[in-house]
């Protein structure tokens, strides 16, 4: 089925208002930045590999992230750290789908962190309201089509700046001017995604800190974030626990010691206008963002976790859950997208 035919799909005809639209409509009432809490369901992620491979442990951690102030839990089943080995599509889906379904059953908003169109598609059907692709759609030729059809249902697509897989990224870190080059390459990704039918309002950009970047490149991108924001799209910043922070706290300290500089970067990114931040330790970033919000507003909110001056209550989060069989069936239109594996 073509993208143009989505409105005539039998399942689409039964949709009153997509649950995904409700989820992301609620998000539009918030003031940036949103916190994406990282949940790696992997044995080899650089920060917490193996800790949450068990489904129950993963779900419990996802709920802790929300309790600490995350608005979205970003679930990933394949490590993208430098040098990481790929896993099969089937194994990736087996890791993430049970976790996504159980978190959605608890009313938690979920993002799927994947390079694969088939995993993204299955995750949206399971209830994910954001597709977070570190390749920006470059790793899988079918991703743009999935993002377009999901976008028509209200699903956001995060396109990160990317130059190659983790096994080769370090040798690709050559730029004339890293900020101008990243801005241009992100603009090209946006043009391609829109040409494939992804709604412009569903696109979120990520500068790709640590991916084919030196430490100096990362700091330059952060310091000139406004130049990337001039593209006119929401910006997600993911600096959490990354290697370049070792220059601040020391290269040989535990990765958890990078949470403090991560929180500072989150607050400065908020000041620069970032729409969201992706972090492992939500609590420290939440405190940093609340301090930054109090600094700007001249007052402190004392009625619960804030999203830079606006909060999403537990009842509001619960209201966004995909509950009925009919609701879940409304996502069935994604089944008509060809399922291609990455090359």
> Which of 187, 248, 174 is CA-nearest to residue 217?
174
Specify whether the CB–CB gap between 203 and 192 falls below 8 A: no
Taking CA 167 as the corner, what is the angle to CA 228 and CA 193, rounded to the nearest 5 degrees?
40
Q: Looking at 183, 242, 283, 321, which residue is catalytic?
A: 242
242 counts as catalytic: yes
Tell me how far CA of residue 285 lies from CA of 61, 124, 149, 262, 317, in angstroms.
16, 27, 33, 7, 20
Measure CA 303 to chain center. 27
Quick one: angle between helices 117-126 and 143-151, nearest 10? 20
Contact (Cβ atoms closer than 8 angstroms) between residue 253 and residue 259:
no
Which listed residue (278, 283, 286, 321) is catalytic? 278
| In contact, 192 and 144? CB cutoff 8 Å | yes
Gap between the Cα atoms of 78 and 89, Å rounded: 9
Annotated catalytic sites, by residue?
242, 278
């Amino acid at each position: 089925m073509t993208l143009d035919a989505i409105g005539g799909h039998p399942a689409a005809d039964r949709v009153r208002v997509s649950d995904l639209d409700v989820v992301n409509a609620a998000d539009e009432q918030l003031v940036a930045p949103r916190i994406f809490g990282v949940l790696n369901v992997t044995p080899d992620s650089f920060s917490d590999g193996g800790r949450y491979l068990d489904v129950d442990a993963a779900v419990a951690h996802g709920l802790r992230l929300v309790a600490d102030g995350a608005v979205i839990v970003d679930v990933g089943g394949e490590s993208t750290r430098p040098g990481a080995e790929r896993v099969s599509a089937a194994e990736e889906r087996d890791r993430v789908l049970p976790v996504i379904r159980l978190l959605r059953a608890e009313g938690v908003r979920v993002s799927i962190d994947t390079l694969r169109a088939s995993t993204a598609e299955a995750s949206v059907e399971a209830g994910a309201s954001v597709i977070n692709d570190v390749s920006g759609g470059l790793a899988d030729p079918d991703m743009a089509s999935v993002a377009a059809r999901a976008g028509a249902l209200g699903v956001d697509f995060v396109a990160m700046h990317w130059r190659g897989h983790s096994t080769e990224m370090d040798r690709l870190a050559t730029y004339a001017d890293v900020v101008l080059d990243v801005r241009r390459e992100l603009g090209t990704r946006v043009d391609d995604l829109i040409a494939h039918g992804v709604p412009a309002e569903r696109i979120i950009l990520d500068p790709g800190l640590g991916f084919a970047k030196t430490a100096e490149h990362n700091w330059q991108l952060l310091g000139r974030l406004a130049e990337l924001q001039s593209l006119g799209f929401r910006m997600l910043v993911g600096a959490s626990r990354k290697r370049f922070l070792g220059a601040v706290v020391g290269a040989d300290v535990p990765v958890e010691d990078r949470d403090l500089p991560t929180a500072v970067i989150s607050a400065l990114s908020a000041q620069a206008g970032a729409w969201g931040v992706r972090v492992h330790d939500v609590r420290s970033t939440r405190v940093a963002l609340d301090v930054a919000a109090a600094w700007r507003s001249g007052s402190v909110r004392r009625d619960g976790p804030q999203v830079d001056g606006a909060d999403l209550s537990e009842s509001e989060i619960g209201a966004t859950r995909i509950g009925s069989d009919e609701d879940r069936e409304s996502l069935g239109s994604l089944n008509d997208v060809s399922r291609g594996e990455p090359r």
